[in-house]
Structure 1
């Protein structure tokens, strides 16, 4: 009979990680993770709208594929892509520290 190891709390994992890995490496990893998440979300947005890559108005299939696989995208391209998927976009600046809930709307298109 194999005993299961107790699962470690995810929060404590990050605290443990910070004790052994330099902060700049953690920051770089988080930045890269956000870029990867953006790629997934762009494809998911299109798919949830029921649109195939070949059917995104104003974009070729190759362009859509490139947009959805890029780790960085110009805001104007993002706005055009989101509009072509039948959606609007808002970009907000939010405080890093959760003490205040002030948000600043940068773009609504």
Structure 2
């Protein structure tokens, strides 16, 4: 599978590869949000402070406000930590916590 991805990336510009990685990460985040809720055995209709339809929209959304993400995770009894790090760094140990709620 990795060879196929590398082959596809070799025919793309570096900027197109970067955009594709960003889009993939956004899709993965939407899937992970639903997985987190399901792991807690919470139905969409049981989420505190959200209607079932709004939970469905959040879990399909590829881009959202950080405040919405914080509220969603809070309803699951979870927190959020955002860490910044230099993209050119060899190690992410150089990262700094930007937000922890």
> Normalising by the residue count of structure 1, what TM-score does the alignment of the two structures yield?
0.82
Runs of 4+ in 1 over 4 A off after TM superposition: none
CA RMSD in angstroms comes to 1.8
Residues 1-109 of structure 1 mapped to structure 2, 5 A cutoff: 10=2, 14=6, 16-100=7-91, 101-109=93-101
Q: How many residues align?
A: 100
| Greater helix content | 2
Larger radius of gyration: 1
Moved more, 20-29 or 33-42: 20-29
Q: Report the CA distance between 1:18 and its aligned residue.
A: 4.1
Q: Calculate the TM-score normalised by the size of structure 2.
A: 0.88
